[in-house]
Structure 1
């Protein structure tokens, strides 16, 4: 499995129930495929009338695709491509699958566009601060420990080629973790495979990362709700999702306390320290879920002002929730407002 996610960081999105409208106005329940993968759940909702044999075949097919991605990109499997690359202390090219090379290439693109805030090499800092898979902390690391960890990170030390697919590191201690982008890629992959099989009305959800295809019924779009990060079940925003993806990242309750100070699990790869601002949830809409997934992580690093400035310059649809002593504040980029105009 990929890095184990906190449930609070997954459940900002609630899917509204829907039916499939058949001839004569009869409404049948949608077909739903569910399971566990990548340390979280997956849920594929299909608003089409499929015969049981085809649905059974599709369930096996989807599970197989997701299992393959997990086997390639998991940091919890010693035999995964990522784990083997992390142990590979050489600057020579390391052969990988086309899927891994593609995801790494996209991660590097967003690393550049985000001024280094989205960085798949940040795991040494995550582990150092006690938010990784190995240990927890009851006090922050020393400045010396942080500076040493910073020497081992930076996606500018990582290179990728797509043909033949391979990646390489410029420093032997470099490690990568795709957990902030792999779920989005898996959502895109399942969506692509559904379309290839002639299925056009669907909603793919992996751990809260969502992509919609077609309509849920009678030309009505799929709708999702952004939930409050501090109040279970309370909806703060409802929006349609038409041929697009939605991803979230959040930090609320995922921290440790030391001597009265709270330290967030969201680490700034530029400074080596946890972020210290009021943003507790970021939602991003994009065509591809991989892109939405990565940018939702990146915008958690920036302050709200920096996030909105960058989002407006790059025309990214982002929705921020901030929390302070006065309650919650909602902020959105111009592109998010355009995409969700006239939606309650």
Structure 2
């Protein structure tokens, strides 16, 4: 899966808009960090409930937990029935796969493993024969819901929700806070962000997109108003082969890492699961295809790419109000 670029929260140091304090929860979850800031009208600490939500999603969708539902499905030990969260993410994933012509694909896992991207150190590239053998397993059309369970065309097919599960978790926490009467909050998990209302300074929440050339600088700053943002990038994780740079993002159609000049994609959407998945798909397909599909699906995005050795940017209509560097 493409590397998730951490979106930076741009927080003002001054206070005074509202005497109501804001509470911050932060820690480690889903293999990354999280930060949740919300208006604390009733001195409510939601940390235990939010930890339970993380555990709920991990039990359903974590590939690191051999007892999770998705791990059991991949091992053909449990093809159904399954929980409502798994079903919702599966259905949304399949729809986005269709909308992106298969550039987003939850069955791409075997190719990711074959290229060694799940390993921490070196790897040997798979042979053409190995790639061709695995490609038959990678096609979102080969899995479906039937009678409350999963049907696979081939038993070796592996499901992987890593490119959408964090975004979905953000949405789940946002739904929880809203039900608790919280109207001003920001949720960030591993760089996936959803914001509602205003911060303690009475301003819309501001989120910065990292500059690929300098991690201490921001390429863009966007004020979020009841919107979600997710970024996928390839400039931190890549490998060189025969003098050519390849991303860790796999093209499901070719079975190989992408090698285009796109460095990162930031997607703006109403919900974070949608933003998360489209950011992955757009990074894989490249800028020109992303423009066409984004226009058809009414998705706004901001792209950073390299051209003739220089950093260039592209922004759709929804990013026109952003402060761009």
Normalising TM by the smaller chain, what interval? over 0.9
1:143-168 CA-partner distances (Å, limit 9, x unpaired): 1111001011111011126xx74322
Once the two structures are TM-superposed, the CA of residue 32 in structure 1 deviates from its matched residue by 0.4
Match of 2:23 among 31, 34, 38: 31
Q: Which residue of 2 aligns with 1:258?
A: 241
- In the alignment, the residues of structure 1 paired with residue 33 and residue 19 of structure 2 have an alpha-carbon distance, to the nearest angstrom, of 27
Match of 1:72 among 60, 82, 87: 60
* Partners of 1:73 and 1:182 within 8 A in 2: yes
Match of 1:131 among 105, 113, 117: 117
Q: Which residue of 1 aligns with 2:73?
A: 85
Residues 45-60 of structure 1 mapped to structure 2, 5 A cutoff: 45-51=37-43, 54-55=44-45, 58-60=46-48
The CA RMSD over aligned residues, in Å, is: 2.3
- In the alignment, the residues of structure 2 paired with residue 295 and residue 250 of structure 1 have an alpha-carbon distance, to the nearest angstrom, of 12
Once the two structures are TM-superposed, the CA of residue 230 in structure 1 deviates from its matched residue by 2.5
* Partners of 2:222 and 2:319 within 8 A in 1: no
Helix, strand or coil: the match of 1:307? helix
Helix, strand or coil: the match of 1:146? helix
Q: Which residue of 1 aligns with 2:229?
A: 246
Once the two structures are TM-superposed, the CA of residue 137 in structure 1 deviates from its matched residue by 1.4
Helix, strand or coil: the match of 1:318? strand
Match of 2:32 among 11, 19, 40: 40
TM-score using structure 1 length: 0.88
TM-score using structure 2 length: 0.93
The structure 1 segments of at least 4 consecutive aligned residues displaced by more than 6 Å after TM superposition are 19-22, 341-344
- In the alignment, the residues of structure 2 paired with residue 135 and residue 166 of structure 1 have an alpha-carbon distance, to the nearest angstrom, of 36
Equivalent residue pairs, number = 325
Question: Aligned in 2, Cα 1:257/1:31: closer, same or farther, shift over 3 Å?
Answer: same
* Partners of 1:278 and 1:324 within 8 A in 2: yes
In structure 2, list runs of 5 or more residues that go unmatched: none
* Partners of 1:21 and 1:28 within 8 A in 2: no
Residues 184-195 of structure 1 mapped to structure 2, 5 A cutoff: 184-195=167-178
Question: Structure 1 or 2: larger strand share?
Answer: 2
Instruction: Tell which has more relative contact order, 1 or 2 (C-alpha 8 A, sep 6+).
Output: 2
In structure 1, list runs of 5 or more residues that go unmatched: none
- In the alignment, the residues of structure 1 paired with residue 150 and residue 273 of structure 2 have an alpha-carbon distance, to the nearest angstrom, of 19
Once the two structures are TM-superposed, the CA of residue 34 in structure 1 deviates from its matched residue by 0.8
2:2 matches 1:10:
no
Helix, strand or coil: the match of 1:95? coil
Helix, strand or coil: the match of 2:8? strand
- In the alignment, the residues of structure 1 paired with residue 310 and residue 194 of structure 2 have an alpha-carbon distance, to the nearest angstrom, of 30
Once the two structures are TM-superposed, the CA of residue 334 in structure 1 deviates from its matched residue by 3.3
Residues 93-108 of structure 1 mapped to structure 2, 5 A cutoff: 93-108=79-94
* Partners of 1:160 and 1:167 within 8 A in 2: yes
